[in-house]
Structure 1
Amino acid sequence: MPKPPEHERAAEVKRSSTRTEQRIKLGIEGLDEMLGGGLVQNSVTGIIGTYGTGKTTFAINFIFEGLKQGEVCILISLDERAEMLMESIRRRGYELDKYLDKTFFLIKLDPTDFTLAVNSIKNDIPTLIQETNASRVVIDPISLFEGLLPDEASRRLEMFKFVERMRDENCTLVMTSETDTQIPYASKYGLVEYLVDCVILLRYVRASDLSGTHLAVEVVKMRRSQHSREIKPYEIQPDDVVVYSEASVF
């Protein structure tokens, strides 16, 4: 039996999913369509990708979509220096100063300070979410937090406890993660994709004629929701991220 056109299938995904779950948009139109209208409210999402695929850019889009809707948002960075991250946000055209320390809180943790970073993520962040009534939270990247833990057993236990504690907060959480150096479809430590509700995979796809490399996005997993299982090309433009939901990756 022939498949219905892509736009009809996408519309059906959106209709069926929005009937039961409230959606939180990432502000990336084509990706929100692939997700059936956006992330499920109060869910936990992992954005996984290798270097240069735009994990932080996707996360910032998620934050500023919330700010535009009048929400309180928190971005916890374990990677970039705060001033460099703020400059990057401003270059993309976001009105950072309009929100900073009012409805947008940028927290920079030093991953080299093991005790401070681990305690902040386990204890201080949930407290800050409650005090500010934040509805969107980003940790970028969670893989640096995982790397602070001494062994696989500790990593599994602490990540499970952290994600379960975050589920008790009234917020939608997005965590970015580097990919495994040997497995480009898995997170660095192979845990994130099992713990979260939604997995968004960002990767490079090389053309069959070796003429160039393209960026592609895939929704690998999404609990409690139907979603597109197709792989779609995307571009990171100076002031926007564009996912071409009607196109196909060759």
Structure 2
Amino acid sequence: MNSKHPIHTTLSTDAMRILERYEIELGSKNTVLERALMGMDKLRFKEKVDTQSINRIIKRVNTGVPGVDGLIEGGIPEGFVTIVTGSPGTGKTTFSLQFLMEGIRNNERCIFFSFEEMTEQLIKQTIRFGWNIGEYIDKGYLEIFGFSRFSTEEIIEIIDIFKPKRIVFDSLNIFSDVSDFRRSPQWRNILKEIKEKKITCLAITEKKTGRSAGEFDEFDFMGDGIILFDKKQKNELDTYPTSNIKIQKMRLTKVNEMPHPFIIKDHGIEIIGNRGIERKISGNILPASKNKPYFVANIDRELRISLNSIIGFSELMKIKTPGDLNEKQERYMHNVLTSGKHLLDLIQQKS
């Protein structure tokens, strides 16, 4: 194979010829490697292929959201379709617009296919972040289309003419029969166009009412990756409302699967990270010895703060030490976290 970073294997010459033939048929090294990964266990695969060379082959696309790229080895693999899902009002559209703005900053053309929001509403939504998308539309870097007004052929024609590097579909929930849509020739044709042109795509979906945040639905099986947005219950440690972002899946990528709290600031979404949690813990602890009468008079509040600190510390440890604890330590931390939340619920019910 002609590659700047060749893959070193112990395969025979005949096997290498087969690999090259599949590369031509499937269109990219990434697809061949993914098929290989699916057909071999991890240990055998590591013996056969230099995984560092694989990572150099994979071109990654920055999301433009501070803190997210570090969770997915530097970005979304180019040409992937990633499902951005969660309940309403958790920041999915803002995240997707931020993704397009990063592309525009890199002189990439972008398309936003909107099912629900009109162009004027999107422009108003982005003004608060200082994104002048009207200017980028005029300059030809961004196009916004109402998806429902176009046929599959017209959408493919738009993609072919505009030649975008990034696309957002907001949202796929307009289709009532997800199973039929996922298997439809229309979606497959759009997907084929996106894959062939190595366009990186975000497809927004909303979790159905009553479905738990971590539960997969039909839409989730349509993408190469899944990014979940979930509302975080506010407690006394939270000085401002936050939500969580979680990478549930990203092919060809080692992901950090822990939920990460984020806030929406003046410049868009930003993951708070460990420092934000540490600040909230340290800023709310009041030693009982400092003011004993006050502590007794406000014991419910003080117990809530103490329990929240324990819960917050446990969550911080889970973020900082994923996979580093043994089974006994994991069980102990889980018990501390569960017990703390249980006691907090009892206090809140009593008060």
TM over 0.5, yes or no? yes
Query: Is the contact made by 2:166 and 2:200 (CA closer than 8 Å) also made in structure 1?
Result: yes
Distance (Å, rounded) in 1 between the aligned partners of 2:54 and 2:230: 26
Q: Percent identity?
A: 23
Match of 2:183 among 154, 157, 160: 157
* Unaligned ranges ≥5, structure 1: 1-14
1:227 equivalent to 2:255? Answer: yes
Distance (Å, rounded) in 1 between the aligned partners of 2:53 and 2:116: 38
Distance (Å, rounded) in 2 between the aligned partners of 1:169 and 1:100: 22
Question: What residue number does 1:32 align with?
Answer: 69
The secondary structure found in structure 2 opposite 1:19 is helix
The secondary structure found in structure 2 opposite 1:47 is strand
1:125 equivalent to 2:155? Answer: yes
Code of the residue aligned with 1:56 in structure 2: it is T
Distance (Å, rounded) in 2 between the aligned partners of 1:166 and 1:179: 24
1:134 equivalent to 2:164? Answer: yes
Distance (Å, rounded) in 1 between the aligned partners of 2:270 and 2:54: 23
C-alpha distance 126-214 of structure 1, shift in aligned 2 (>3 A): same
Distance (Å, rounded) in 1 between the aligned partners of 2:228 and 2:266: 21
Equivalences for residues 99-114 of structure 1 within 5 A: 99-101=136-138, 102-109=140-147, 111=148
1:238 equivalent to 2:266? Answer: yes
Code of the residue aligned with 1:143 in structure 2: it is N
1:185 equivalent to 2:213? Answer: yes
Distance (Å, rounded) in 2 between the aligned partners of 1:173 and 1:93: 23
1:171 equivalent to 2:171? Answer: no
Equivalences for residues 90-101 of structure 1 within 5 A: 90-101=127-138
Deviation at 1:205? Answer: 2.3
Match of 2:224 among 182, 186, 197: 197
Question: What residue number does 2:323 align with?
Answer: none
1:59 equivalent to 2:59? Answer: no
Question: What residue number does 2:119 align with?
Answer: 82
Q: Which has the higher helix share?
A: 2
Between the two proteins, the alignment pairs up a number of residues equal to: 223
- Say which one has the larger Rg: 2
Query: Is the contact made by 2:182 and 2:222 (CA closer than 8 Å) also made in structure 1?
Result: no
User: Once the two structures are superposed, what CA deviation does each residue of 1:1-56 show, in whole Å capped at 9, x if it has no partner?
Assistant: xxxxxxxxxxxxxx898533111011012111111111100110010011110110
User: Once the two structures are superposed, what CA deviation does each residue of 1:118-146 show, in whole Å capped at 9, x if it has no partner?
Assistant: x2xx22222211111110000111112x2
Query: Is the contact made by 1:218 and 1:231 (CA closer than 8 Å) also made in structure 2?
Result: yes
Code of the residue aligned with 1:206 in structure 2: it is Q
Distance (Å, rounded) in 2 between the aligned partners of 1:213 and 1:17: 40
Deviation at 1:169? Answer: 3.1
The secondary structure found in structure 1 opposite 2:255 is coil
Distance (Å, rounded) in 2 between the aligned partners of 1:60 and 1:192: 20
